[in-house]
């Protein structure tokens, strides 16, 4: 027979199921280490790819900025030369004959200018057409330079060295086409164009000073989209490129799912086989424990039965003799005073109470074999409540009974009556100073439920856990078998009885569930 106390053998310091589990754990660790190594390689590959693309974008930006700067400088020089030539021609014409507003208007129209304004040495001015340039200016405002004002290109020429009749002159040119060229050649337009390329979400040029002079790659989430954000320093700032990273994440997530699925499968298999080994090792031990427990229960029941039979035999006969003697003494002694009468009555009550305790012990130890009768549960409950009615009224206990239509089931009428009486009696005796008793009898498809709730529950946490145990009682006169016997009766009928104490509210709940189907 296998020993009930398992010991470790010399050849196997650990149980085989534990060794098996450790082996699977080591295998899972190796799989996870391989996974993290491959994930690191994938991350490094992604960073390299993102940096290469960012470096290429930075080169494109630098080259385009250089070309745009050169093109715009050339255009500005051409426009300045054109307007300077026009200014020299206007100075020449004004030197022949001072130009009037209508002549300036016609000249501007003929030369393709927006307008011409002449400033004389006496600060008088002549313009044509009238009001073509509402912006105020003076001859000291950066002469011989271009000035962009919206879609206008203004050129202020210092003519004081060429003519004594002029201090300066201002010419204007329609610069819509040149403005569009400057806009299309601007950095913002270039960045917007690059941001529309496939796989690129956004391109920025950060010109703020930064302590970091090295490239970087970060994986972020923007509006629910996976973005690989990379920065590459260049001469004019740091190019920051946001690339679409959903393919990378998809590949990484697939690899992660595969590895974790494999690791989870290994873990499940390891636990399963370890559990099989454990169950195999514990099977014999469980069988022995079950056998020993059943045997101990049978021995306890047999010992209790023998003890009860002995008590009933050895005590009941003397009790009967005492009871008969007390009755004869009461009948034959006519000269007893009041104290002697009270003493004989007290002795008779003690003999009766002792006989009741012996009978209750016999009922608890006797095997229960319920009869198959039709029991009307609501009627029996009302009969017991009528029996305890005077005591309930005397103790000022508030009684509330909730019951549906007549409820019947198959069972032993006497045993169920005893169950109901024990529960009602226990609830009433728990409230000697008053309280309340709530009883609810209901019927379901396959069972009948009796719920009893009463106040007056004053036991502590240690005693609460022992409610319903045989021989546990807090009453001065009681065996502690009432609730235990009620539970046995419910179990014998195929039902259950739950005892639910609530210390905070000082109440006790009892739930009895009995099946409605006939007992086979």
pLDDT, tens digit, for every residue of 287-336? 878 788 768 766 766 676 677 666 666 676 677 777 777 777 777 666 76
Q: pLDDT value at position 9?
A: 43
Does CATH number 3.30.43 belong to domain 274-366? no
Lowest mean per-residue pLDDT among 109-123, 170-184, 272-286, 380-394: 272-286
Ordered by start, the domain boundaries in the chain are 13-131+138-198, 274-366, 369-515
Reference 54, options 332, 241, 320; nearest CA is: 241
DSSP letter at 14 equals S
Q: Do 416 and 380 meet the contact criterion of CB atoms below 8 Å apart? A: yes
pLDDT band at 6 (very low <50, low <70, confident <90, very high): very low
- Token readout for 421 is 């009486």
Phi-psi region of 173 (alpha: psi -120 to 50; beta: other; left: phi over 0): beta
Tell me how far apart the alpha carbons of residues 381 and 48 are, in angstroms, rounded to a whole number: 85
CA distance to 91, 143, 156, per residue, from 120 (Å): 12, 15, 14
Kindly tell me if the per-residue pLDDT of 417 is higher than 60.
yes
Reference 316, options 255, 359, 269; nearest CA is: 359
CATH of 369-515, picked from 3.40.50.2300, 3.30.9.10, 3.30.565.10, 3.40.50.720, is 3.30.565.10
Taking residues 229-243, what's their average pLDDT? 75
Please give the order of strands across the beta sheet that includes 200-206: 200-206, 237-244, 225-234, 216-222
Tell me how far apart the alpha carbons of residues 208 and 412 are, in angstroms, rounded to a whole number: 93
Q: pLDDT value at position 3?
A: 41
On average, the pLDDT of the chain sits at 77
Tell me how far apart the alpha carbons of residues 430 and 391 are, in angstroms, rounded to a whole number: 12
Higher pLDDT: 373 or 471? It is: 373
Q: pLDDT value at position 473?
A: 55
Tell me how far apart the alpha carbons of residues 47 and 230 are, in angstroms, rounded to a whole number: 8
pLDDT, tens digit, for every residue of 42-87? 777 777 777 777 777 777 777 777 777 788 888 888 888 888 888 8
Tokens 């006497």 sit at which residue?
A: 414
Tokens 């050169």 sit at which residue?
A: 70
Taking residues 174-188, what's their average pLDDT? 78
Q: pLDDT value at position 481?
A: 66
What sign has the CA pseudo-torsion 268, 269, 270, 271? positive
DSSP letter at 519 equals P
Strands 507-515 and 496-502, bridge-based pairing: antiparallel
Tell me how far apart the alpha carbons of residues 425 and 205 are, in angstroms, rounded to a whole number: 89
In the chain, the percentage of residues whose pLDDT exceeds 70 is 82
Half-sphere exposure of 196 (CA within 13 A, CB side): 5
């Amino acid at each position: 027979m296998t020993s009930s106390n398992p010991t470790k053998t010399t050849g196997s310091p650990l149980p085989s199921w534990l060794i098996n589990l450790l082996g699977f754990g080591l295998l899972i660790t190796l799989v996870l280490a391989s996974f993290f190594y491959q994930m690191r390689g994938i991350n490094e590959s992604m960073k390299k790819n993102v940096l290469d693309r960012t470096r290429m974008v930075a080169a494109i930006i630098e080259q385009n900025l250089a070309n745009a700067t050169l093109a715009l400088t050339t255009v500005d020089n051409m426009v300045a030369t054109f307007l300077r030539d026009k200014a020299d021609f206007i100075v020449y014409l004004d030197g022949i004959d001072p130009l009037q507003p209508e002549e300036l208007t016609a000249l501007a129209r003929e030369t393709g200018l927006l307008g011409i304004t002449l400033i004389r040495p006496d600060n008088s001015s002549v313009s044509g057409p009238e009001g073509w340039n509402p912006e105020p200016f003076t001859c000291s405002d950066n002469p011989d330079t271009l000035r962009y004002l919206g879609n206008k290109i203004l050129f202020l020429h210092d003519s004081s060295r060429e003519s004594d009749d002029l201090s300066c002159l201002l010419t204007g040119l329609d610069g819509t086409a040149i403005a569009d060229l400057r806009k299309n050649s601007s950095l913002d337009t270039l960045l917007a164009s690059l941001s529309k390329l496939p796989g690129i979400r956004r391109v920025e040029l950060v010109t703020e000073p930064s302590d970091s002079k090295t490239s970087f790659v970060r994986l972020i989430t923007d509006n629910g989209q996976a973005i690989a954000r990379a920065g590459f320093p260049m001469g004019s700032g740091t190019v920051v490129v946001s690339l679409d990273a959903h393919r990378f994440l998809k590949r990484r997530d697939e690899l992660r799912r595969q590895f974790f699925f494999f690791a989870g499968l290994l873990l499940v298999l390891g636990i399963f086989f370890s559990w099989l080994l454990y169950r195999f090792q514990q099977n014999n031990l469980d069988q022995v424990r079950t056998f020993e427990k059943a045997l101990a229960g049978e021995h306890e029941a047999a010992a209790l039965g023998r003890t009860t039979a002995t008590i009933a035999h050895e005590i009941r006969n003397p009790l009967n003799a005492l009871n008969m003697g007390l009755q004869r003494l009461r009948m034959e002694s006519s000269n007893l005073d009041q104290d002697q009468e009270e003493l004989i009555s007290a002795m008779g009550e003690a003999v009766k109470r002792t006989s009741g305790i012996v009978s209750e012990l016999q009922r608890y130890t006797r095997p229960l074999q319920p009869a198959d009768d039709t029991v009307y549960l609501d009627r029996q409950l009302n009969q017991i409540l009528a029996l305890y009615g005077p005591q309930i009224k005397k103790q000022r206990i508030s009684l509330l009974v909730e019951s549906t239509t007549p409820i019947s089931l198959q069972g032993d009428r006497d045993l169920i009556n005893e169950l109901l009486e024990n529960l009602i009696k226990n609830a009433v005796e728990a409230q000697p100073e008053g309280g309340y008793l709530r009883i609810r009898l209901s019927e379901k498809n396959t069972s009948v439920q009796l719920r009893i709730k009463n106040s007056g529950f004053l036991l502590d946490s240690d005693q609460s856990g022992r409610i319903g145990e045989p021989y546990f009682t807090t009453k001065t006169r009681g065996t502690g078998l009432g609730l235990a016997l009620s539970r046995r009766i419910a179990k014998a009928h195929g039902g259950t009885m739950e005892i639910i104490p609530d210390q905070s509210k000082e109440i006790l709940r009892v739930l009895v569930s009995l099946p409605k189907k006939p007992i086979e």
